[in-house]
Amino acid sequence: MKKFTIFGNPVSHSKSPQMHNAGFRAIGFDGEYSKTHLENGDDIKKIFLEGGFSGANITLPHKEYAYRYADILDPLAQKIGAVNTYINIDGKIKGYNTDALGFYKSIEEFKDVKSVLILGAGGTAKSIAVILKEKNFEVTILNRSENSKDFFINLGCEFYNFNSFSKEKRFDLIVNSTSAGLSDTEYPAPLEFLESLMKNAKYVIDCIYGKMTPFLLLAQEKNLVFKDGEDMLLYQGVVAFEYFTNTKIKEDTIESMRRGLKNS
Output the smallest distance, CB 236 to ligand NDP, in A: 5
Residues 85, 139: contact at Cβ < 8 Å? Answer: no
Output the smallest distance, CB 39 to ligand NDP, in A: 19
Known catalytic residue at 63: yes
Nearer to ligand NDP, 66 or 207 (CB): 207
Rg (CA), the chain: 18
Catalytic residue among 15, 35, 63, 79: 63
Nearer to ligand NDP, 2 or 195 (CB): 195
DSSP 192-222: HHHHHHHHH-SEEEES--SS--HHHHHHHHT
Nearer to ligand NDP, 2 or 68 (CB): 68
Nearer to ligand NDP, 51 or 110 (CB): 110
Nearer to ligand NDP, 30 or 108 (CB): 108
Residue nearest to ligand NDP (CB): 122
Q: Cα separation of 263 and 201, whole Å? A: 33
Pairing of strands 85-89, 92-96: antiparallel
Residues near ligand NDP (CB under 6 A):
60, 99, 120-125, 143-145, 147, 177-180, 182, 186, 188, 207-209, 229, 232-233, 236
Q: Cα separation of 263 and 233, whole Å? A: 14
Q: Cα separation of 169 and 167, whole Å? A: 5
Output the smallest distance, CB 34 to ligand NDP, in A: 19
Angle between the N-to-C axes of helices 123-134 and 98-106, in degrees from 0 to 180, rounded to the nearest 10 = 70
Residue type, 25: R
Burial class from Cβ neighbours inside 10 Å (0-12, 13-18, 19+) for residue 261 reads buried
| Tally of CA atoms within 13 A in the half-sphere of 191 that contains its CB | 5
Catalytic residues: 63
